Amino acid sequence: MPVDYAHPEEDRFFNFALELVKKAGRLVRDAFDQPSSNVQTKASNTDLVTETDQAVEAMLIKGLAAEFPEHKFIGEESVAGGQKIEYTNAPTWIIDPIDGTTNFVHRIPMVAICVGLAIKKELRAGIVYNPITNELFTAQVGRGAFKNGFPIKSSQTEAVSKAVLLLQIGADRSEKFVNSFIESYKAAMVKSDARGHRSFGSAAINMAYVAQGCVDAYAEYGIHAWDIAAAAVIVKEAGGVVIDPLGSELNVMGRKVLCAGTRKLADELSGMLTHVDFEPEG
């Protein structure tokens, strides 16, 4: 049976991680204004990594592993470096050192350090920190969601026609993928006359903004666990829903996500998306 409140031990995990994330924020902030000459590509021309991504991930994992030697890690850059994704019952930190690396490289201030904690494959805590705009989103199961220490709530919007939506396309530009995005966009913006569309270039920031209620729903295909794990806890604790775009329970390893302020809005959006299938990771 999943426990629906945070144990004292989890508080210790969370508080330790929070201090590390704040330190990591200083690294990101210091590097942000410097033109990144050392930008490399990973899986494709649109999939970027910088020395800062690597340094931040190494710092977070080193700090957490020293304090919690029995914990496991799934980190974007470690996986890019060849580490296998192993998602087990052990306490597992799911880390994206910089979500929004393209923004970071172009000095667009929408970047986030993401640290999520899963225990027995249940997402228990999340930290999403944008050190440039100084927005720190946090949540633990059963404790509510916060921005810079103040409680946040997702919006109560129930209809796409009243919603500001975020639909986003990531690094994968295969035809199937791009077509699905265009069809979904047309369905939401033209057929259903959504109030507006935004896309911040960071899955975690998109989700954190759904959590704080300034936008109403977000969907994306092709994302990874590190893009969404931390933010998923924040959205749920803010009163929102986070599901598989087809309407079933979220699989954090399933490479797709839909979140919204209300279940009604999530269901309407789910019904108009052109879905793409993925093999789950891990």
Q: What is the C-alpha separation between 259 and 267, in angstroms, rounded?
A: 10
- Is the Cβ of residue 87 or residue 177 nearer to ligand IPD in the bound state? 177
Q: What is the C-alpha separation between 75 and 17, in angstroms, rounded?
A: 14
Question: Which listed residue (220, 227, 237, 268) is catalytic?
Answer: 227
- The minimum distance between CB 199 and ligand IPD, in angstroms, equals 8
76 binds Ca ion (CB under 5 A): yes
The 8-class DSSP code of residue 163 comes to: -
**Which among Ca ion, ligand IPD, none contacts residue 222 (Cβ within 5 to 8 A by kind)?**
ligand IPD
C-alpha torsion sign, points 20, 26, 32, 34: negative
The verdict on whether residue 99 carries a ligand-binding annotation is yes
- The minimum distance between CB 235 and ligand IPD, in angstroms, equals 15
Which one of the spans 15-23, 96-104, 146-154, 245-253 is the region binding ligand IPD (CB under 6 A)? Answer: 96-104
Question: Which listed residue (10, 57, 76, 172) is catalytic?
Answer: 76
Respond yes or no: is residue 193 known to be catalytic.
no
For residues 258 and 217, the answer to whether their CB atoms sit within 8 Å is yes
Q: What element of type H or E holds 179?
A: helix 175-186
- Is the Cβ of residue 112 or residue 163 nearer to Ca ion in the bound state? 112
The verdict on whether residue 237 carries a ligand-binding annotation is no
- Is the Cβ of residue 56 or residue 119 nearer to ligand IPD in the bound state? 56
The verdict on whether residue 216 carries a ligand-binding annotation is no
Respond yes or no: is residue 76 known to be catalytic.
yes
Respond yes or no: is residue 268 known to be catalytic.
no
Q: What is the C-alpha separation between 225 and 218, in angstroms, rounded?
A: 16
Token pair, residue 93, equals 């930190």
Respond yes or no: is residue 234 known to be catalytic.
no
- Is the Cβ of residue 187 or residue 205 nearer to ligand IPD in the bound state? 205
Binding map of ligand IPD across residues 101-140, x = CB under 6 A, - = no contact: x---------------------------------------
The verdict on whether residue 277 carries a ligand-binding annotation is no
Spatial neighbors of 115 by CB under 8 A, at least 6 apart, are 17, 20, 21, 60, 93, 94, 95, 126, 127, 230
The verdict on whether residue 76 carries a ligand-binding annotation is yes
Q: What is the C-alpha separation between 49 and 41, in angstroms, rounded?
A: 6
Respond yes or no: is residue 99 known to be catalytic.
yes
Query: Site residues for ligand IPD, window 169-198 (CB under 6 A)?
Result: 170-171
Q: What is the C-alpha separation between 215 and 208, in angstroms, rounded?
A: 9
In this structure, which amino acid lies at residue 201? G
Closest CA to 229 of 65, 74, 102, 20: 74
By the criterion CB under 5 A, which residues form the site for Ca ion?
76, 96, 98, 101
Question: Which positions are annotated as active-site residues?
Answer: 76, 96, 98-99, 101, 227
